């Protein structure tokens, strides 16, 4: 079993501020850092650190940023399906983080939006029924990748972020699990008032935990969030989804996969950064042993 992730790779530029700026306000940063980010890279790192075999499909600039590939490999992600594109910049994000760990983010997609369709199809050629495809809205070629994966019998997990009605409508016929946060869930409900035809949804709610909704049976599983003193919430949802996808790939029951994902996210938000702050599987296991494992509940 393996996870293929058609995902964005960004260089994060992180500025620490006393508060997020209001319109027209200029603030002096209290700190600056640079790290690995992008929803796709974050999810690949999380899934790999959770114990899954992860192949990342994406692109960065042809020159510079060799450290990005080195960092992904260090975290256990296979990078041979990442293209180096000439005349393109590596995607990057400007991340503003306040004293409570909340953030605002500006993205420049760069090479993430310049993926070659033939290269993506070739990268997905080995995918099969026991595998999983992760995709988000920060790259190109999402719909074609989802079609290839579903035709091969693979599980397709789609993060509808950044949220786009047109993107969701185009890809839904090929999606096994739709993943979104509470804000995106509200946008989805407004855009599709009659509901959507997808087998399952995962809704992350920050400090309120998460819900797994089986839309075929009507059953909902809830997972409480673990208490955490947040330093930086950037990438917490990606950490959750990557760990959850790895749990499914490793054959864990959904409640157990939810608990591991919640624990990983709780650890991640206590550390600065995005992909670089995601914990290893052993840290998550130790955390669950210390805290008693958390609770999940089912409902109709």
Whether the CB-CB separation of 241 and 247 falls below 8 Å is answered with: no
Catalytic site includes residue 276: no
Query: Measured between alpha carbons, how far is 195 from 201 in angstroms, rounded to an integer?
Result: 12
SS3 content of the chain, % helix, strand, coil (to 5): 35, 25, 40
Contact 287, 263 (CB under 8 A): yes
Cα 13 versus chain centre, distance:
18
Per-residue exposure over 168-207, b if at least 16 CB sit within 10 Å of its own CB, e if not? beebbebbbbbbbbeebbebbeeeeeeeeebebbbbbbbe
| Phi-psi map region of 104: left, alpha, beta (phi>0 left; psi -120 to 50 alpha) | beta
Residues 138 and 93 sit within 8 Å (Cβ to Cβ): no
DSSP string for residues in 165-217: HHHHHHHGGG-SEEEEEHHHHHHHHHH-TT----SEEEEE-GGG-EEEEETTT
* Candidate list 131, 238, 249, 276, residue with the active-site label: 238
The CA distance from 153 to 1, in Å, is: 13
Question: What positions carry a catalytic annotation?
Answer: 238
């Amino acid at each position: 079993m393996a996870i293929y992730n058609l995902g964005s790779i960004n260089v994060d530029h992180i500025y620490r501020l006393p508060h997020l700026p209001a319109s027209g306000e200029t603030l002096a940063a209290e700190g600056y850092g640079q790290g690995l980010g992008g929803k796709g890279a974050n999810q690949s790192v999380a899934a790999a650190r959770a114990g899954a075999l992860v192949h990342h499909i994406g692109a960065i600039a042809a020159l510079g940023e060799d450290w990005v590939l080195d960092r992904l490999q260090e975290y256990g992600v296979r990078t041979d399906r990442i293209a180096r594109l000439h005349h393109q910049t590596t995607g990057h994000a400007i991340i503003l983080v306040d004293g409570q760990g909340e953030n605002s983010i500006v993205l420049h997609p760069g090479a993430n939006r310049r993926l070659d369709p033939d290269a993506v199809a070739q990268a997905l050629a080995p995918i099969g029924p026991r595998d999983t495809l992760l995709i988000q809205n920060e790259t190109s070629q999402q719909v074609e990748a989802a079609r290839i994966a579903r035709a091969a019998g693979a599980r397709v997990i789609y993060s509808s972020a950044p949220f786009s009605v047109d993107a969701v409508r185009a890809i839904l016929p090929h999606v096994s699990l739709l993943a979104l946060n509470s804000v995106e869930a509200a946008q989805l409900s407004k855009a599709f008032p009659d509901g959507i035809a997808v087998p399952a949804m995962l809704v992350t709610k920050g400090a309120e935990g998460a819900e797994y909704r089986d839309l075929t049976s009507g059953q909902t599983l809830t997972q409480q969030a673990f208490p955490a003193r947040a330093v930086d919430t950037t990438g917490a949802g990606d950490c959750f989804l990557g760990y959850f996808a790895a749990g499914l790939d490793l054959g864990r029951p959904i409640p157990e996969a939810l608990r591991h994902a919640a624990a990983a996210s709780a650890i991640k938000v206590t550390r600065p950064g995005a992909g670089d702050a995601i914990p290893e599987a052993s840290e998550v296991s130790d955390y669950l042993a210390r805290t008693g494992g958390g609770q999940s509940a089912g409902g109709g």
